[in-house]
């Protein structure tokens, strides 16, 4: 605010003097000059009453009043907290009276006799001082308010923000950054160089680069391990810190958590990473828990699921969770080994057992002794191998090819298949007794299309992996590209997604993966979604979906569906079965109940008899 030498004459002035003539004279001088309103008082009591009733911009008081002293009035004025200037008038100026007046905060004092010019000069100076003082206080108040506002933003924002000076000293750090960096409040680090683990190391490298080049380090993603063991994917950006005069004064680092949103409140033990798996959906939580529980029990396990869902990863996790974790995990791909060699590969053979057997060969069962044997694609083995494997599972012994005496081993068997073994049993292509021997416990791995919410975190996980391997400066994935990934059906599951991201990293020459870097089948589906015609409105009952099909299923390209509509749609398709609806939505049943209550959805209105009478319309 720029100050002017002119004084606002709409100033409220109080004149205190026990002589009526002086009061009237001062009032006349000031009124003719244009000041006002003007109030007069003959005693301290009258002055205090006037001060109590209204605010004044200036008080002029005689230092000697009848029965009291003007300095007493000045002291009482200051005790009330009033800050306006007070000019004292004295007939006998001396050092003591001046010192006393200044001690109690008088702006100045005037010696009698007081002529018009002197009075007006002191009034003008006092009011100018008061205007400046009010401006100063207003600026301080405004600055404090602005500072509190910035501090509130700085401390409340969910992004982590760190500012450092040219010597890497930490100037400011908000609560989010403290949490992510494992900040020790008892012994807080004062320099970024002292934070060398996790996100702190990357922040340090980016800050050094900005200080060296004085250029922004563009946004990039890193993986950090949280205290609970889960993965946090951080988007990091470092920029030069400049003051109002564009003077370089340090670095500002902004980090954003782009991991999937945390599950609903009340969910405990949620993990988005487990023995190489990445994902926090409810179906994956169930898989993690199953592996954790079954791993500790020394029994046979059958892992089922489509190709690319991570069956080998499940076998590794089961072995890591078992008491055999320090022994060998031997993997045998039954589909990759010719039938005539699989028996020898698994059970071993003696020298001379068949043509070409020029030496003894210990089989994979011997190598897996006291450890774990993983038989992948078990559904492809021949009837002869099925029988030999069944006998081994029953007796825990086997006879190598060309040997007469049996060999005993202590091996845990984990099998996996992507085919429906029940159908093979019914067709007579797989032994029923072997099936039940293998399937003491079954772990079914969900396809990626049932883990849609996990695609972003998986995509960024693979992006981080291949970006480092290929040494590419890729900062992220565009919204359109991520939307295409989330809507694609993924027949190849996680393995296919991994290959798609690797391909995109190879083709991408800029900072962001876009739709053009994906295979044709993903791009064409996205383009189809962008051009699909609008759905038929409900007033066309002749064009209805088949019963049990939702509008969302019919048009997976819908850009938005509200949570309430999504709940209603799932309940309709589940015929009111809340457990089934919860599974469709990949949430806990308790979470479904809370959401239904929040949106005032009555559970009984979707019971089977109601749905049968209410066909779903587009």
- State the CATH architecture for 273-446: 3-Layer(aba) Sandwich (3.40)
Over the stretch 579-594, which tens digit does the pLDDT of each residue have? 778 777 766 676 777 7
**Distance between CA atoms of residues 450 and 464, nearest Å:** 24
Instruction: State mean pLDDT over 197-206.
Output: 81
Over the stretch 53-74, which tens digit does the pLDDT of each residue have? 888 999 998 887 776 776 788 8
More confident residue, 223 or 473: 473
Residue extents of the structural domains in the chain: 13-136, 157-257, 273-446, 449-531, 551-612
Instruction: State mean pLDDT over 224-236.
Output: 73
**Distance between CA atoms of residues 390 and 239, nearest Å:** 65
**Distance between CA atoms of residues 26 and 23, nearest Å:** 5
Over the stretch 343-355, which tens digit does the pLDDT of each residue have? 888 888 777 666 6
Q: Which residues, 6 or more positions from 338, have their beta carbon under 8 angstroms from its beta carbon?
A: none
**Does 276 score more than 80 pLDDT?**
yes
**Distance between CA atoms of residues 292 and 275, nearest Å:** 10
**Does 496 score more than 70 pLDDT?**
yes
Angle at 292 (CA atoms; ends 492, 321), nearest 5 degrees: 95
The pLDDT score that the predictor gives to residue 538 is: 39
Please check whether residue 435 is in contact with residue 425, taking contact to mean a CB–CB distance below 8 angstroms: yes
Angle at 481 (CA atoms; ends 476, 486), nearest 5 degrees: 110
Neighbours of 167 (CB within 10 A): 10
Phi, psi of 348 (to 5 degrees): 85, 175
Percentage with pLDDT > 90 across the chain: 22
User: In the numeric block, which tokens belong to residue 359?
Assistant: 């030496």
Confidence of residue 112 (pLDDT cuts 50, 70, 90): confident
User: In the numeric block, which tokens belong to residue 242?
Assistant: 């400049």
The pLDDT score that the predictor gives to residue 144 is: 83
**Distance between CA atoms of residues 231 and 221, nearest Å:** 12
**Distance between CA atoms of residues 249 and 559, nearest Å:** 44
Instruction: State mean pLDDT over 150-172.
Output: 81
- What is residue 300's DSSP assignment? -
- Average pLDDT of the residues of the chain: 80
The pLDDT score that the predictor gives to residue 590 is: 66
Task: List beta partners, residue 111.
Answer: 90
The pLDDT score that the predictor gives to residue 220 is: 73
The pLDDT score that the predictor gives to residue 350 is: 73
**Distance between CA atoms of residues 129 and 440, nearest Å:** 91
Q: Please tell me if the domain spanning 13-136 has the same topology as the one spanning 157-257.
A: no
The pLDDT score that the predictor gives to residue 545 is: 35
- State the CATH architecture for 13-136: 3-Layer(aba) Sandwich (3.40)
Please give the torsion angle defined by the CA atoms of residues 294, 295, 299 and 301, in that order, rounded to the nearest 10 degrees.
Answer: 70
pTM (2 decimals)?
A: 0.53
Over the stretch 74-105, which tens digit does the pLDDT of each residue have? 888 888 888 889 888 877 666 566 666 666 67
Please check whether residue 22 is in contact with residue 62, taking contact to mean a CB–CB distance below 8 angstroms: yes
Confidence of residue 560 (pLDDT cuts 50, 70, 90): very low
**Distance between CA atoms of residues 135 and 569, nearest Å:** 62
Please check whether residue 494 is in contact with residue 307, taking contact to mean a CB–CB distance below 8 angstroms: no
**Distance between CA atoms of residues 281 and 454, nearest Å:** 7
Confidence of residue 539 (pLDDT cuts 50, 70, 90): very low
**Distance between CA atoms of residues 321 and 84, nearest Å:** 78
Please check whether residue 608 is in contact with residue 575, taking contact to mean a CB–CB distance below 8 angstroms: yes
The pLDDT score that the predictor gives to residue 596 is: 82
More confident residue, 277 or 598: 277
Domain 449-531 indexed as CATH 1.20.120.420: no
Q: Which residues, 6 or more positions from 248, have their beta carbon under 8 angstroms from its beta carbon?
A: 166, 214, 240, 241, 242
Q: Which residues, 6 or more positions from 472, have their beta carbon under 8 angstroms from its beta carbon?
A: 466, 505, 508
More confident residue, 291 or 555: 291
The pLDDT score that the predictor gives to residue 3 is: 45
The pLDDT score that the predictor gives to residue 533 is: 43
The CATH number given to 157-257 is: 3.30.450.20
Three-state SS for 460-501 is HHHHHHHHHHHCCCCCEECHHHHHHHHHCCCCCHHHHHHHHH
Neighbour-count burial for 422-434, b at 16+ CB within 10 Å, e otherwise: eebbeeeebbeeb
C-alpha dihedral sign at 489, 491, 494, 499: negative
The pLDDT score that the predictor gives to residue 1 is: 43
**Does 195 score more than 90 pLDDT?**
no
- What is residue 448's DSSP assignment? G
**Alpha carbon distances (Å) from 103 to 20, 74, 75, 99:** 28, 10, 9, 6
**Does 512 score more than 80 pLDDT?**
yes
More confident residue, 260 or 395: 395
**Distance between CA atoms of residues 398 and 52, nearest Å:** 106
Helices (H) and strands (E) in the chain, counts: 23, 25
Burial level of 407, CB count in 10 A (0-12/13-18/19+)? middle
Q: Which residues, 6 or more positions from 393, have their beta carbon under 8 angstroms from its beta carbon?
A: 300, 413, 434, 437, 438
Over the stretch 278-335, which tens digit does the pLDDT of each residue have? 887 888 888 999 999 999 998 999 999 998 999 999 999 999 999 999 999 999 998 8
* Residue of 127, 148, 128 whose CA lies nearest to 57: 127
404-410 contacts at long range (C-beta below 8 A, 24 or more positions apart): 407/365, 407/366, 409/365, 409/366, 409/368, 409/369, 410/369, 410/370
**Distance between CA atoms of residues 459 and 477, nearest Å:** 9
């Amino acid at each position: 605010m720029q100050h002017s030498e002119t004084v606002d004459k709409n100033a409220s002035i109080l004149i205190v003097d026990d002589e009526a003539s002086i009061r009237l004279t001062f009032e006349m001088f000031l009124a003719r000059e244009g000041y006002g309103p003007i109030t007069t008082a003959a005693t301290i009591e009258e002055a205090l009453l006037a001060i109590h009733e209204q605010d004044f911009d200036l008080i002029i008081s005689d230092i000697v009043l009848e029965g009291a002293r003007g300095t007493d009035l000045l002291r009482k004025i200051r005790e009330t907290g009033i800050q306006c200037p007070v000019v004292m008038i004295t007939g006998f100026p001396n050092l003591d009276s001046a010192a006393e007046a200044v001690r109690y905060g008088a702006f100045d004092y005037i010696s009698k006799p007081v002529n018009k010019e002197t009075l007006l000069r002191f009034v003008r100076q006092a009011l100018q001082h008061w205007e400046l003082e009010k401006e100063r206080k207003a600026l301080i108040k405004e600055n404090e308010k602005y500072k509190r506002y910035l501090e509130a933003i700085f401390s409340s924002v969910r992004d982590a923000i760190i500012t450092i000076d040219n010597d890497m000293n930490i100037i400011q750090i908000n609560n989010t950054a403290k949490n992510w960096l494992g900040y020790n409040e008892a012994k807080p680090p004062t320099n970024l160089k002292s934070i060398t683990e996790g996100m702190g190391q990357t922040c340090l490298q980016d800050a050094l680069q900005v200080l060296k080049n004085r250029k922004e380090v563009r946004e990039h993603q890193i993986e950090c391990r949280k205290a609970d063991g889960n993965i946090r994917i951080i988007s990091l950006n470092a920029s030069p810190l400049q003051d109002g005069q564009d003077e370089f004064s340090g670095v500002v680092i902004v980090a954003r958590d782009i991991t999937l949103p945390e599950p609903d409140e009340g969910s405990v033990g949620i993990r988005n990473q487990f023995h190489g798996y990445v994902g926090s959906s409810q179906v994956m939580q169930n898989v993690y828990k199953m592996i954790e529980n079954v791993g500790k029990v020394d029994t046979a396990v059958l892992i089922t699921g489509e190709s690319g869902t991570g069956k080998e990863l499940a076998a590794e996790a089961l072995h890591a969770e078992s008491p055999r974790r320090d022994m060998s995990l031997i993997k045998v791909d039954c589909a990759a080994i010719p039938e005539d060699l699989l028996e020898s590969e698994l059970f071993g053979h003696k020298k001379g057992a068949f043509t070409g057997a020029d030496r003894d060969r210990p089989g994979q069962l011997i190598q897996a002794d006291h450890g774990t044997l993983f038989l992948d694609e078990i559904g492809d083995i021949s009837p002869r191998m099925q029988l030999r494997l069944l006998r081994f599972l029953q007796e825990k012994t086997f006879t190598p090819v060309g040997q007469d005496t049996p060999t005993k081993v202590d091996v845990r068997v984990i099998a996996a298949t992507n085919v429906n073994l029940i159908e093979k049993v019914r067709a007579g292509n797989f032994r029923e007794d072997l099936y039940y021997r293998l399937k003491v416990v079954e772990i079914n791995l969900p396809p990626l299309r049932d883990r849609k919410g996990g695609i972003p975190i998986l995509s960024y996980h693979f992006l981080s992996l291949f970006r480092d391997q290929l040494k590419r400066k890729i900062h992220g994935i565009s919204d359109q590209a991520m939307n295409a990934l989330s809507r694609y059906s993924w027949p190849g599951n996680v393995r296919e997604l991994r290959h798609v991201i690797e391909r995109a990293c190879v083709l991408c020459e800029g900072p962001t993966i876009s739709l053009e870097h994906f295979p044709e089948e993903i791009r064409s589906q996205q383009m189809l979604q962008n051009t699909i015609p609008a759905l038929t409105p409900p007033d066309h009952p002749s064009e209805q979906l088949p019963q049990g099909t939702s509008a969302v299923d019919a048009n997976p390209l819908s850009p938005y569906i509200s949570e309430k509509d999504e709940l209603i749609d799932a309940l309709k398709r589940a015929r009111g079965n809340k457990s089934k609806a919860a599974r469709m939505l990949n949430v806990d049943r308790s979470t479904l109940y809370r959401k239904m209550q929040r949106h005032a959805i009555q559970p009984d209105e979707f019971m089977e008899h109601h749905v049968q009478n209410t066909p779903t319309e587009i």
